[in-house]
């Protein structure tokens, strides 16, 4: 009478247990199908919202800078727009603008001239144009924020203002985008859609607890550069938040050279800000893991933004 016990349903042949397992598998498969359809619909909506308005603002800024840019067609959109990870209302538009400047021009002089050109050309079309230590920020009435980083060309590289705004710093903005492109290809083009969905979910956090868009992209690279799991939105989005909750605890080097770390705004490893960010990302991962309906997932990825 073979068998050594262990209670396996395959040994006991318990038909009720077998039926329950089959039903559970069917329920999981149906939930996966519903959630993946929801995420595809959410992504389509995000993409539809982005394109027309963003392109209109970028065209307007190109026109405004036509007398100052080295060549209007050499505007390099090195941020979320170029990487196709921009999400309307959830990301700042960070763009690198190559400008011509006389020898000896300081970063302060370049930023002020750049900002003045935008103020004169945009006029009432922009709510505010402000020159900061690094970039010139254009804010529109609808809340769209365009962060324009004036840069000088240096052969194949570029120079931008240093963090203190007083000297020039050499950068290679394409390196990060190229790395993201490589990772995206390795997961069959799924990394960029997942980044957009992650930004949408993170938009439900209070403003002072959200990580930056650039940081989300860096965390996605870390999550997917060696990923060998299912290439579905549901599985990959859950994986992103699980790994991000751990990876956010440590600084991620900025390969573009713009700053020492993409997340230096959170401080050193083990900082209170990093612990808070980790807790928030882990909470989203737990909600995804325990969600048992399309409606629960909808509340996670399409949250009402807090005031």
**252 assigned to some structural domain:** yes
pLDDT at 23: 64
* Position 102 in a domain: yes
Q: What is the pLDDT of residue 301?
A: 96
Low-confidence ranges of the chain (pLDDT < 50): 1-10, 71-73, 307
Same domain, 27 and 59: no
**Final residue of a domain: which of 138, 172, 206?**
172
Structural domain contains residue 106? yes
- Would you state the pLDDT for residue 10? 47
Residue 260 lies in a domain: yes
Whether 7 maps to a domain, the answer reads: no
pLDDT at 94: 64
- pLDDT for position 92: 55
What's 272's domain CATH number? Answer: 1.10.1410
Neighbours of 306 (CB within 10 A): 11
Q: Single out the residue in 145, 172, 199 at which a domain terminates.
A: 172
pLDDT at position 19 is 72
Q: What is the pLDDT of residue 91?
A: 54
Q: What is the pLDDT of residue 59?
A: 82
- Asked if residue 4 is part of any domain, the answer here is no
Tell me the residue range of the domain where 237 lies. Answer: 19-48+176-301
Note the pLDDT tens digit of each residue in 123-160.
Answer: 888 899 998 877 888 888 887 778 888 888 877 678 88
SS3 letters across the chain: CCCCCCCCHHHHCCHHHHHHHHHHHHHHHHHHHHHHHHHHHHHHHHHHHHHHHHHHHHHHHHHHCCCCECCHHHCECCCCCCCCCCCCCCCCEEEEEEECCCCCCCHHHHHHHHHHHHHHHHHHHCCEEEECCCCEEEECCCCCEEEEEEEEEECCEEEEECCCCCCEEEECCHHHHHHHHHHHHHCCCCHHHHHHHHHHHHCCCCHHHCCCHHHHHHHHHHHHCCCCCCCCHHHHHHHHHHHHHHHCCCCCECCCCCCCECCHHHCCCCCHHHHHHHHHHHHHHHHHHHCCCHHHHHHHHCCCCCC
Q: Which of 172, 195, 221 is the last residue of a domain?
A: 172
Establish if 12 belongs to a structural domain: no
Can you read off the two tokens belonging to residue 253? 């080097």
- Please report, for the domain that includes residue 154, its CATH number: 3.30.460.90
């Amino acid at each position: 009478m073979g068998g050594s016990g262990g209670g396996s349903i395959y040994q006991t042949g318990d038909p009720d247990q077998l039926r329950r397992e089959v039903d559970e598998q069917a329920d999981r498969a149906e939930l996966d199908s519903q959630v993946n359809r929801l995420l595809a619909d959410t992504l389509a909506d995000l993409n539809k919202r982005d394109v027309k308005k963003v392109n209109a603002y970028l065209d307007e800024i190109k026109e405004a800078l036509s007398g100052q840019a080295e060549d209007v067609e050499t505007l390099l959109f090195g941020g979320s727009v170029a990487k196709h990870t921009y999400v309307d209302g959830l990301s700042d538009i960070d763009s690198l603008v190559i400008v011509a400047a006389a020898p000896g021009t300081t970063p302060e002089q370049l930023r002020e001239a750049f900002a003045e050109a935008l103020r004169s050309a945009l006029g009432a079309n922009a709510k505010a144009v402000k020159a900061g230590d690094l970039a010139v920020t254009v804010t529109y009435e609808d809340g769209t924020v365009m962060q324009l980083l004036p840069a000088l060309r240096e052969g194949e590289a570029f120079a931008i203002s240093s963090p203190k705004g007083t000297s020039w710093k050499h950068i290679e903005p394409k390196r990060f985008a190229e790395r993201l492109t490589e990772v995206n290809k390795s997961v069959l083009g799924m990394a960029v859609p997942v980044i957009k969905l992650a930004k949408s979910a993170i938009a439900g956090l209070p403003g002072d607890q959200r990580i930056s868009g650039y940081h989300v992209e860096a965390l996605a690279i870390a999550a997917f550069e060696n990923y060998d799991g299912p290439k579905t939105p549901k599985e990959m989005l859950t994986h992103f938040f699980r790994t991000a909750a751990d990876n956010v605890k440590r600084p991620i080097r900025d390969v573009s050279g713009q700053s020492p770390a993409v997340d230096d705004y959170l401080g050193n490893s083990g900082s209170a800000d990093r612990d808070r960010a980790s807790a928030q990302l882990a909470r989203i991962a737990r909600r995804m893991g325990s969600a048992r309906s399309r409606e629960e997932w909808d509340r996670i990825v399409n949250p009402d933004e807090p005031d």
